[in-house]
Amino acid sequence: MTTEKLQIGMLLFPGVTQLDLTGPAEVFSASRRCDVHLIWKALQPVDTGAGWSINATRTFTTTPPLDVICIPGGTGQIALMDDDETLDFIRQQAGHASLITSVCTGSLVLGAAGLLKGYHATSHWMSLPQLQLLGAIPVRERVVRDRNRITGAGITSGIDFALNVLQTLLGAEVAQDVQLGIEYDPSPPYSFNSLATPERLAQLTQYAEQRQALRLESTRRAAARLEEQ
């Protein structure tokens, strides 16, 4: 087994959901077998959706060839769907990456880059149906792997997702050691399924209606561009 560290690039963009980014980044870093790069267009603080910023550590031009490219989600994902510079960077890195991955609505960005056509993939439950517009096969699971694509569902799934990435590239023992080391043994006061009543889901969907409408518009534009290619 190689002793070289895996080069993992995580896209850091304005409006990113910080846990989509920081959850997996912590898992990867805890393995001590990965160099984690937080990538944006400039080396500057980038505002997250939480209202505080994270510093980029690499730019598109200084990022080394990546073993894993990961696209997190967040409200800023909507703008990325029309961002040719970012989509070109993702495609370029995906050309040689061992794994092409995402968390939450980051899978829509992979789809906009044309990287999920014919692949099973997941996303946040509100946005999952939009994947079909981009040629992907939506799957309602927490983590989905199809060949060299691994996608995580909503926000907190990023930790499960990252452990799956470690298991895939570094083996079960490494993933197990990290899970033990970060004491990942979630026990929330409520199960997701117990909360996901039709009434509550409808209420949350209505609350996010405006944002989801913008997201759907951006997905449709991306789908139209893919059809022209």
Q: Is 222 exposed, middle or buried (0-12, 13-18, 19+ CB in 10 A)?
A: buried
Angle ∠(199,202,207) on CA atoms, nearest 5: 125
Listed residue (50, 22, 1, 45) closest to 182, CA to CA: 22
> Residue 33 CB: number of other CB atoms within 10 A?
20
Phi/psi of residue 47, each to 5°?
Answer: -70, 130
The two tokens of residue 29 are 């870093």
From 8, 87, 104, 121, active-site residue: 104
Phi/psi of residue 198, each to 5°?
Answer: -55, -40
| Cα 41 to chain centroid, rounded | 18
The two tokens of residue 7 are 């080069």
Is residue 104 flagged as an active site residue?
yes
The sheet with strand 34-39 has its strands ordered as 34-39, 6-11, 68-71, 99-103, 149-152, 143-146
User: Kind of pairing, strands 137-138 and 143-146?
Assistant: unpaired
| Active site residue ranges | 104
